[in-house]
Amino acid sequence: GKVRAPTHIICTISDDRGEEPTYGGVTMSELMEGDANVGDAIGLLWFKRRLPRYATKFVEMCVVLCADHGPCVSGAHNTIVTSRAGKDLISCLVSGLLTIGPRFGGAIDDAARYFKQACDAGQDADEFVEALKQKGVRVPGIGHRIKSKDNRDKRVELLQRYARKHFPSTRYLDYAITVEEYTLQKAANLVLNVDGCIGALFLDLLSSVGMFSPAEVQEVVDIGYLNGLFVLARSIGLIGHALDQKRLQQPLFRYPWDEVLYTK
Ligand code: ACO
Ligand code: LMR
């Protein structure tokens, strides 16, 4: 029989060997004829399937809505400082991306994990929140530095509105909202934030599209696909900030002394 040398790597998502490249077996021509968007590319390359239109549109909405949130947030700040230090575009981008984590933009996977476990177990919101508090864990997907009960996050509103109109079910979002109702009784800034909203809605999307088995949904949650959405989206804004500083020929950044509390 044929003797096959062992391969160095395995790839199951794309192929560049034929006349035209494919994503998940779909040719570039088919993608272009079908008016494919970023959601289609993510569907094929991350989730390894063609997502229905309402789902790819939702993915695109997440990317557009999370692309930037002004210059003051952690990521943009780092990118701006790096750009002003004269560094190249990729260094500026990466220095901003490195701030994405459990407090900033990188709470989507944990929000999905915690909401899924609690909702599937039928745990009441108050029990869920109090159990995390006992462990000293902040509820991922809840809380914001500037958004609050009376100053809602428009992005969260827009995503919810779309899901209620187009998703077959919003079971996990509904659960996350019961959590928010409870945390808002504690403090006005403990709103469902954009990470939490995307985490809950992705659970709804994957569970209701009818293409993901419960085990596959669990795999997405366990591996942690969803922070990638924020990383992808925010890269757009971070690149914008890096270029903005260069265009404005901003000098090296240095904090004024009176912005620092020097103390022993
Ligand atoms: N769950 C439970 N309690 C919370 C939460 C939470 N998610 N967030 C804040 N609190 C409590 C704190 O324990 C604190 O109470 P304490 O002083 O008695 O300990 C009080 O609220 C105020 O906390 P602060 O640290 O002042 O809140 P801050 O406004 O700085 O935090 C943050 C904002 C970092 C987003 C926080 O709410 C948090 O860690 N949330 C969970 C992580 C998360 O979802 N991050 C994504 C944010 S959206 C984005 O980045 C795109
Ligand atoms: C963001 O999208 O960057 C934020 O929600 C975080 C913030 O503090 O505004």
| HEC string for 180-232 | HHHHHCCCCCCCECHHHHHHHHHHHHHHHCCCCCHHHHHHHHHHCCCHHHHHH
Q: What is the pLDDT of residue 224?
A: 97
What residue owns the CA closest to ligand 2's atom 6? 73
Q: What is the pLDDT of residue 206?
A: 95
Q: What is the pLDDT of residue 1?
A: 67
Q: What is the pLDDT of residue 63?
A: 98
145 in contact with ligand 1, CB cutoff 6 A: yes
Q: What DSSP designation does 124 have?
A: -
Tens digit of each residue's pLDDT (9 = 90 or more) over 127-178: 999 999 999 999 999 999 999 999 999 999 999 999 999 999 999 999 999 9
69 in contact with ligand 2, CB cutoff 6 A: yes
Which stretches of the chain drop beneath a pLDDT of 70? 1, 209
Q: Count how many residues are written for the chain.
A: 264
Q: What is the pLDDT of residue 208?
A: 82
Q: What is the pLDDT of residue 209?
A: 65
Q: How far is the C-alpha of 10 from the C-alpha of 8, rounded, in Å?
A: 7
Q: How far is the C-alpha of 251 from the C-alpha of 248, rounded, in Å?
A: 9
Question: Can you state the angle between helices 154-166 and 53-65, rounded to 10 degrees?
Answer: 180
Which helix H or strand E contains 261, and what residues bound it? none
Q: Cβ distance 135 to 114 under 8 Å?
A: no
Q: What is the pLDDT of residue 210?
A: 75
CA of 104, closest atom in ligand 2: 6
| Spacing, Cα 144 to ligand 1 middle (Å) | 6
Q: What is the pLDDT of residue 74?
A: 98
140 in contact with ligand 1, CB cutoff 6 A: yes
The 3-state DSSP class for residue 243 equals helix
∠ CA 114-120-126, nearest 5°, is 60
Give the mutation target among 138, 189, 191 for probing the ligand 1 site: most ligand atoms within 8 A of CB: 138
143 in contact with ligand 1, CB cutoff 6 A: yes
| Spacing, Cα 160 to ligand 1 middle (Å) | 21
84 in contact with ligand 2, CB cutoff 6 A: no
Model-level pTM?
0.96
